[in-house]
Structure 1
């Protein structure tokens, strides 16, 4: 018996429910890129990293809103049913999840872009730098 099989897999119905639920909580870089490239996205993409990291390189079309700065006032311009998709540096970073928690606490629909910047680059997509003055 290996470490893989030491704990039995969930029954198929439970596995199906679990994996289907994941799509309610996250999306991937390819789906985000395809939607952004098509124009008129039906979500707002939030870069939850610091403004400095955003300026060095971010997903084109993203809004810089560090997770610690997410408050109701910063969201006032968006309709209450606006879907927010958050990302951070990558799987080694929890900034996207921190942003998602803050958005959910404010009653906003939210998903995480799995992989973050690392995943974006792994897919072969380019980042853009910002000339925004802090």
Structure 2
């Protein structure tokens, strides 16, 4: 019997391993970001790439507000070229984090996407802070 799930056969274990290992080069999740930031071992800059107004209404504690359209070399001048950036936006329904990641990558900056964004952060039970830093 074939179903909508198995109509296209799953990849071999070797191909699946390569795919999923590669995915982690491009993304991280809310839990890992929270864990690292809570333990004081942060080795990345967390960027909220939504508008400043949305950032002020609620953002991940410790995140820097930098809307994706404003990611240019000039706005990054205070960060060493090897700084790892982790970007997020509203959630899975928003492509702002992808837009921010593209801009950072085009500037030669290391970048990962925090999958889930604000929605994922709240789903994990973490809190947001308000206001502007």
TM over 0.5: same fold? yes
Q: CA deviation at 1:39?
A: 1.5
Q: Take 1:5 and 1:35, find their aligned partners in 2: how far apart are those partners?
A: 38
Q: Take 1:78 and 1:69, find their aligned partners in 2: how far apart are those partners?
A: 15
Q: Take 2:29 and 2:57, find their aligned partners in 1: how far apart are those partners?
A: 22
Q: Which residue of 2 aligns with 1:72?
A: 73
Q: Which residue of 2 aligns with 1:88?
A: 89
Q: Take 1:51 and 1:24, find their aligned partners in 2: how far apart are those partners?
A: 28
Residue aligned with 1:60, SS:
coil
Change (3 A) 1:63 1:56: same
Q: Take 1:66 and 1:35, find their aligned partners in 2: how far apart are those partners?
A: 23
Q: Take 1:96 and 1:87, find their aligned partners in 2: how far apart are those partners?
A: 5
Q: Which residue of 2 aligns with 1:60?
A: 61
Aligned residues: 132
Unaligned runs of 5+ in 2: none
Q: Which residue of 2 aligns with 1:107?
A: 108
Residue aligned with 1:2, SS:
coil
When the two structures are superposed, what TM-score results if normalisation uses the length of structure 2?
A: 0.97
Q: Take 1:69 and 1:102, find their aligned partners in 2: how far apart are those partners?
A: 9
Q: Which residue of 2 aligns with 1:39?
A: 40
Residue aligned with 2:87, SS:
strand
Structure 1 outlier segments of 4+, above 4 Å: none
What does the per-residue CA deviation read over 1:57-94, in whole Å, with 9 as the maximum and x for residues that have no partner?
A: 00000000000000000001001000000000000000
Q: Which residue of 2 aligns with 1:16?
A: 17
Change (3 A) 1:24 1:131: closer
Unaligned runs of 5+ in 1: none
When the two structures are superposed, what TM-score results if normalisation uses the length of structure 1?
A: 0.96
